[in-house]
Amino acid sequence: MLRPPAANPGTNMSEQSPPSFESQLARLEQLVKQLESGDVSLEQSMKVFEEGVQLTREAQELLSKLEQKILILADQDGGEVAVEPTTDET
């Protein structure tokens, strides 16, 4: 009988790669819909809100890291990168 492949002993759940920005954004959209529906209790709404805040922080951190990487790569190529803040705060 064939056995499933053994898990790599050097990995565990905490070593998995973090979710992508796109998956974080999709989850945030789900949470917003859940809150806007009004079909959840106050206690559940707080849990959903807390998850949303945490996801927002993680996504912002990821974007900041990617921005730094872009600036480093552009600097290595001798290119000039003009970083302009966006005013579209919706």
pLDDT over 90 (residue 80): no
pLDDT number for residue 89: 54
| Class at the top of the CATH hierarchy for domain 19-76 | mainly alpha
Rounded Cα distance between 9 and 17, Å, is 16
Rounded Cα distance between 77 and 24, Å, is 31
Apex 54 CA angle, 27 and 11, nearest 5: 80
This prediction has a pTM of: 0.62
67 and 82 in contact (C-beta within 8 Å)? no
pLDDT top residue among 62 and 14 = 62
Apex 9 CA angle, 4 and 10, nearest 5: 135
